[in-house]
Amino acid sequence: MTAPPSVTSPGTGPAAPPGAGAPEDRGRSWPGQRALLGHLRPQRRRMAAGVLLGLVGSVMGLAQPLAAKRVVDDMGRGAPAAGPVLVLSLLVVAGAVLAGLGYYVLQYSAESIVCTARRRLTDRLLRLRVPVVESSEPGDLIARVTSDTTLLRQTAPQAVSAAVTGTLVTAATVVMMGLLDAVLLTVTLAVVAFVGVVVALVAPRIGRATRHTQEAVGCIGAALERALGAFRTVKASGAEQREAEALCRAAERARRTGVRAAAWEAVSATTSAVVVQVCFLVVLGVGGARVTSGATDVSTLVAFLLYLFALAPRIGQLVEGVGQVQVGSAAADRIAQVEQLETEKPGTEMPTREESQTAEQEDEGVRSPLSVSFDQVSFAYRPGLPRVHHGVSFTVPAGGLTAFVGPSGAGKTTVFSLIERFYEQDSGRVLLDGEDVRQWPLARLRASIGYVEQDVPVLAGTLRDNLTLGTSDPDPGELARVLRLARLDVLADRLPDGLDTDVGHRGSRLSGGERQRVAIARALLRRPGLLLLDEVTSQLDAANEAALRDTVTDTARHTTVLVVAHRLSTVTTADRIVVMEAGRVRAVGTHAELLAHDDLYRDLASTQLLGP
């Protein structure tokens, strides 16, 4: 087993040091730029059209000084200038319209780039392996989908447009200026070259600062997720200030690095502006001297200065474009890190919606019960961590109720995680229905299992959304039956909007016991061949617990039911009990057999497991 790759090091939590989580100089290297190109490629035609429109608009702008020269010459000669003035006006209007159209097309492609990136990222995130997500910060992952992709929109097409249009128009302008006066052009280029040097020095710093800002934004997301995810605990612990401080630290880091990026952008923008001003003055001085000496005439100097006017924003645009490419590359690099995270194994990928539905429909009615067996399974959650299972072996025949008991940390929940293939064992085999779970297509495997985890997660949304999470379009009769079984029918009748009542973030508007019953109903609705229940009665009152015990016993008649149990009621009625201790199976038997022969079970029975 390899260590799960993670986009965040432990240091990128709320209290992380600045810039933690990625090699220091990534933003400066080529992967970011290559990743950025990867995002742009699918939109290349539309972007080319946008750039072309902008270019034609700019070329029209380029012809404007010539038309202006003609107007000046004609007026100087006393000739009528109406024609050239009309041409000049047309050039101005058409140029502006085409440039506007080009901008719209580029923005359109920007939105498409962002949408594609977000769809790809969210799709990828939901297909990540469980260990990968568990070793990442959800808030940071969310920031990559929301904040980093937004940077792509802000930078990508404009940067490309600026680079292409700026380069071409600059080249064309330079040619025109050269044709007008080679000496003045040489003077201009000598001054402007200074901008190039400054940009080359500053651009990588902009990229680096942007990446640090985005990392800090990720930390804000992580800190927020942490605090809002356990909001009541934070309040009950009086930890608002402490959590707020972590958020403030991340926000301060984002401000600092954002200001740093802005400072470098300002340096390059100011330099280019100053250089252009200096250029004007130098050209005006040298050009004036040349006019006086008769080397050139006034109209040529006017036209040259107009080209210089046209060139100034292009230089600014190019400088800005280089900075934007750095910003976009930093964002693309962070997005690429998520795209490199490991997803569920190829060939056994996560089910698509259609596959899930097919898997669901494969068995009409109730699925046949499935046998489960562990054969010398050893497992550690990560290399370097102590093993949680040491040669675990047991066999559960199809059907019936099997309880797993043992001290806390014995490895009971891990048994369920391995059956569900959230993790894979390091050695040994996990067999479902006699077949290694690694051979099962993941869609079928998960469709065959109903799983209620220990923390009973209920998702935001309505009660109905939660119940039908794993079952598309259940039969209303079946839904009513399951609601009755899980003792949720009374609750559904009582709620203002029945099944369509919003249950709040993580089901916060439900009681703990109601959340457990929702999770059980959800699992039952799938009509699984194997039902895994992890301490599902812990929050139920005596009446509901007794009712659910009957439901579980009933379900076990046609489904294999495995429960991790801490209550006497579930354990005594089980067909068999697997006693685990420190990652090993210690004994298997019925309640009476284990009471007679297993010391640990007897201890558990008389103390924390079974109570008085």
Ligand X SMILES: Nc1ncnc2c1ncn2[C@@H]1O[C@H](COP(=O)(O)OP(=O)(O)OP(=O)(O)O)[C@@H](O)[C@H]1O
Point out which residues bind ligand X (CB under 6 A).
134, 381, 388, 406, 408-414, 564
By beta-carbon proximity to ligand X, the closer residue of 42 and 229 is: 229
By beta-carbon proximity to ligand X, the closer residue of 68 and 519 is: 519
By beta-carbon proximity to ligand X, the closer residue of 296 and 414 is: 414
By beta-carbon proximity to ligand X, the closer residue of 56 and 582 is: 582
By beta-carbon proximity to ligand X, the closer residue of 335 and 410 is: 410
Given a contact cutoff of 8 angstroms between Cβ atoms, the answer to whether 431 and 373 are in contact is yes
| CB 394, min distance to ligand X, A | 14
Given a contact cutoff of 8 angstroms between Cβ atoms, the answer to whether 319 and 269 are in contact is yes
State which H helix or E strand residue 207 sits in: helix 182-229
| CB 112, min distance to ligand X, A | 38
| CB 231, min distance to ligand X, A | 23
By beta-carbon proximity to ligand X, the closer residue of 264 and 451 is: 451
By beta-carbon proximity to ligand X, the closer residue of 73 and 134 is: 134
Which string of DSSP letters, residue by residue, matches 524-584? Answer: HHT--SEEEEESTTTT--HHHHHHHHHHHHHHTTTSEEEEE--SHHHHHT-SEEEEEETTE
| CB 382, min distance to ligand X, A | 7
Given a contact cutoff of 8 angstroms between Cβ atoms, the answer to whether 425 and 451 are in contact is no
| CB 408, min distance to ligand X, A | 3
Q: Partners of 196 in the beta sheet?
A: none
| CB 335, min distance to ligand X, A | 26
CA angle in degrees (0–180, nearest 5) for 70-73-77:
135
| CB 538, min distance to ligand X, A | 10
In angstroms, the CA 19 to CA 12 distance is 8
In angstroms, the CA 503 to CA 510 distance is 6
- Cα dist from 134 to 6, 19, 129, 162, whole Å: 9, 21, 9, 41
Name residues whose C-beta falls within 8 Å of residue 41's C-beta, 6 or more positions apart in sequence: none
Name residues whose C-beta falls within 8 Å of residue 431's C-beta, 6 or more positions apart in sequence: 371, 372, 373, 374, 375, 437
Given a contact cutoff of 8 angstroms between Cβ atoms, the answer to whether 471 and 524 are in contact is no
- Cα dist from 145 to 42, 91, 183, 276, 489, whole Å: 19, 43, 52, 39, 39
DSSP 138: H
State both tokens at 307: 């080209």
State both tokens at 416: 């369920």
By beta-carbon proximity to ligand X, the closer residue of 218 and 411 is: 411
| CB 136, min distance to ligand X, A | 13
| CB 534, min distance to ligand X, A | 7
By beta-carbon proximity to ligand X, the closer residue of 71 and 388 is: 388
